[in-house]
Amino acid sequence: MKKVITYGTYDLFHEGHYNLLKRAKELGDYLIVGVTSGDFDKNRGKLNVRDSLMTRIKHVEETGFADEIVIEEYFGQKIDDIKKYDVDIFTVGSDWKGHFDYLNEYCEVIYLDRTKGISSTEIRNTNTIKLGCYGVESVTTRFLEESKYVSGINIDAIYVDNESDCFDQLKEQYDFKVYKHQQEFYDAIDAVYIVVEPKYQFKAIVNALKHKKHVLVEFPILVTDEQLQEIIELADANNRIFMEGLKTAYTPAFGKLIALAKSGIIGNILSVDANFTQILGKQLGEQIRLVDGGSVHALASYPFLAFVKLLGLDYKNIQFFSRDDNGIDMFTKMLISYEKAVATSNVAISGKSEGDMVISGDKGYIYVPAPWWKTEYFEVRFEDLNMNRKYFYKFDGEGLRYEISEFIQCILNYKNSILLTIEEIRTITNMINQFNVANKVTF
Ligand code: C2G
C-alpha cells in the first residue's frame, strides 16, 4: 500500500485545497492529512486564521480524500510523522517548491501545481476590516509596522487633532489619508486605534463608540471608574468591541504562562512579584505628558495585568510607596493584598529594577526572566531540581501583531476578548485609580 502525507491549515476551505487533496490522494492508496493547530500556525507567523481547528478538520474530512487526519503541532513533526506512519510520498502545493526538499531523505517529495487565483488570505481580505488611527504617538509607527503581519486588516486613515513631530515622520513613511474632520474619518473606517493623552482619552473613546466604531485604545486607560463604566455600557449598547492595547495579554507565551501557573503545577499561588522599570532620560517629559503623571500611570498596567490574571479581580487593598518629585512618582513600590496571596511590584520611569517575574507557590515556583512582559521562555522550578522544566514560545517583532490579530478576531466574531476581559480592564483601571486617591507613603 502506497502511503501519501500532506499538511495544511485549510482555513476558509476553498477549491485550491480541494484540488490539492484530490491529487494527493491520486498519488497513492492511503492519504494522511496533517491539519495545523492554532498554536503551530501562530508560531509559524500565520496569524488571524479564522476557522477553528475542528472546523478545518471537518472540511478536510468532508472531501472524503483523507484516510487519516493528524494534527500538526510543532516544527519537525513532518519527519516524525513520515517515520511513524511509514510514508512513501510527501506532497504539498508548488508554492512550497524547494522548501521541503530535505524530506527526500525520508520519502519521495512531490510538489503539486497550486490552483491559481485563490487563497485563504485573499478570502480573508475580502471582508477586510478598515482600521483608522486616531491620534499619533511613537507607538503608532510600531503599530503600523506590526499590522503588516496580520491579514484581513487595512489601515489607511489617520486623524490627528494636533500634528506632533511623530506625525510628520509617519507621514513620510506611510501613504495613508489624513482626515481633518472626525465625521469623514469615522465614515471611512470600521474600527479605530486610539492613542491620545489621558485628558482626551475618555471623550475620544465615547465619540468613537457613538459613531458605532470598534475601539482598541492604547494602554494605559486613565479614566475614572465611572467613565469606564459609561464606556463599557456604550460599547455594549452599540454592540461594539472595546479592547485595551496591553500587548502582553495577547501574546502566546503569556497565555501559556498563566494557564500553567493556574493549572496547580506549583500548587496554590502565594505571591507574584513583577517589576517594570525604565530610565527614560530625555523622553521623561514626553512620557509624563503622555500619561499625565509618573510611574504608576505609565507602567503599572503591566504588573496589574499579571496580578489580575494570576490572583483574580478581588484584591483587598493596595499600598503605594513612592519616590515623589514635584507630585510625579519617579519610582513606586506597590504591595497588593488578596484573600490568600500577595503581590508586589516596582514601577519606575526614572529608576531600574530587575524586570523578571516570580510566581511563588506552595509546591514550587515559576521564574520568568526579564523582560517578563515580552516573555519567550520561563522555568517551573521545584525543591527537587530534577523536576524543573523549561518552556519556550516565540514572541515575534514588537508583539503588537498578536494584539491586532485578536482585535480583528473579536470584531469578526462580535465577541470581546477573553485574553483581557472587560472585567479585567475594569479592575486594572480601578487599581491605577487607587493611586490617585490612596494615602501613599512618599520617601
Ligand atoms: N493550495 C493550493 N492552491 C491554492 C491554495 C492552497 O494548492 N490556491 C495548497 C497549498 O499549497 C497546501 C494546501 O493547499 O499544500 C493547504 O494550503 P494552506 O492551508 O495555505 O496550508 P499552508 O500554510 O500552505 O501549509 O505545515 C503546513 C504546510 O506546510 C502547508
**Relative to the CA of 72, which ligand 1 atom is closest?**
26
Name which residue leads in pLDDT, 117 or 404: 404
Q: Answer whether CATH 3.40.710.10 is correct for domain 122-246.
A: no
**Nearest Cα to Cα of residue 347 among 257, 256, 278, 273:** 278
Residue 28's pLDDT is what? 98
Cell 504539498 locates to 92
Residue 109 pLDDT grade (very low, low, confident, very high; cuts 50, 70, 90): very high
For the ranges 168-172, 174-178, 265-269, the lowest mean pLDDT is seen at: 168-172
- Please tell me if the domain spanning 3-120 has the same topology as the one spanning 122-246: yes
| Mean pLDDT, range 180-206, rounded to an integer | 95
**Relative to the CA of 99, which ligand 1 atom is closest?**
29
Task: Write phi, then psi, for 429 (nearest 5 degrees).
Answer: -60, -40
> pLDDT at residue 313 above 80?
yes
Residue 203 pLDDT grade (very low, low, confident, very high; cuts 50, 70, 90): very high
Please say whether the dihedral angle defined by the alpha carbons of residues 344, 348, 351 and 357, taken in this order, is positive or negative. positive
> pLDDT at residue 368 above 70?
yes
CATH number given to 3-120: 3.40.50.620
Residue 161's pLDDT is what? 79
Any ligand 1 atom below 6 A from CB of 43: no
| Mean pLDDT, range 38-62, rounded to an integer | 92
Residue 408 pLDDT grade (very low, low, confident, very high; cuts 50, 70, 90): very high
Q: What percent of the chain has pLDDT over 90?
A: 81
Top-confidence range, 125-129, 397-401, 417-421: 417-421
Quote helix, strand, coil % in the chain, to nearest 5. Answer: 40, 25, 35
> pLDDT at residue 165 above 70?
no
**Nearest Cα to Cα of residue 303 among 361, 348, 267:** 348
| Domain map (residue ranges) of the chain | 3-120, 122-246, 249-442
DSSP 78: H
Task: Write phi, then psi, for 60 (nearest 5 degrees).
Answer: -70, -45
Residue 125's pLDDT is what? 75
For the ranges 64-73, 103-112, 284-293, the lowest mean pLDDT is seen at: 284-293
Residue 171's pLDDT is what? 77
Residue with CA nearest ligand 1 atom 24? 8
Residue 175's pLDDT is what? 76
> pLDDT at residue 254 above 90?
yes
- Convert 262-289 to b/e letters by CB count within 10 Å (16 or more is b): eeebbeebebbbbbbbbebeeebeebbe
Strands (DSSP E) along 206-349, which ranges? 214-218, 242-245, 269-274, 276-277, 317-325, 328-337, 342-348
Residue with CA nearest ligand 1 atom 16? 8
> pLDDT at residue 84 above 90?
yes
> pLDDT at residue 163 above 70?
no
Top-confidence range, 108-122, 141-155, 245-259: 245-259
Burial class (CB in 10 A: 0-12, 13-18, 19+), 261: buried
Cell 519610582 locates to 331
**Residue 37 CA neighbour count, 13 Å, CB half:** 10
| Average pLDDT value over all residues in the chain | 94
Torsion over CA of 206, 313, 393 and 406, rounded to 10 degrees?
Answer: -20
| Mean pLDDT, range 219-228, rounded to an integer | 97
Residue 108: count other Cβ atoms within 10 Å of its Cβ: 15
392-397: long-range contacts, CB 8 A cutoff, minimum separation 24: 393/43, 393/251, 393/252, 393/253, 393/256, 394/42, 394/43, 394/252, 394/253, 395/251, 395/252, 395/253, 396/45, 396/149, 397/145, 397/146, 397/149
Any ligand 1 atom below 6 A from CB of 277: no
Residue 97's pLDDT is what? 94
Give the residues across from 312 on adjacent strands: none
Torsion over CA of 135, 138, 144 and 147, rounded to 10 degrees?
Answer: -110
Residue 23's pLDDT is what? 98
Task: Write phi, then psi, for 68 (nearest 5 degrees).
Answer: -155, 145
> pLDDT at residue 83 above 80?
yes
Residue 160 pLDDT grade (very low, low, confident, very high; cuts 50, 70, 90): confident
Q: What percent of the chain has pLDDT over 70?
A: 99
Residue with CA nearest ligand 1 atom 17? 8
Q: How far apart are CA 335 and CA 431, in angstroms?
A: 11
Ligand 1 pocket, mutate which of 42, 70, 71, 92 (most atoms under 8 A from CB): 92
Residue 176's pLDDT is what? 82
In one-letter notation, the amino acid at residue 43 is N
Residue 402's pLDDT is what? 94
Q: Answer whether CATH 3.30.360.10 is correct for domain 249-442.
A: yes
> pLDDT at residue 164 above 80?
no
The pTM for the full model equals 0.86
Any ligand 1 atom below 6 A from CB of 118: yes
Centre of ligand 1 to C-alpha 55, Å, is 16
> pLDDT at residue 236 above 90?
yes
**Residue 433 CA neighbour count, 13 Å, CB half:** 15
In one-letter notation, the amino acid at residue 262 is K
- Mapped onto helix, strand or coil, the DSSP state of residue 208 is helix
| Mean pLDDT, range 347-376, rounded to an integer | 97
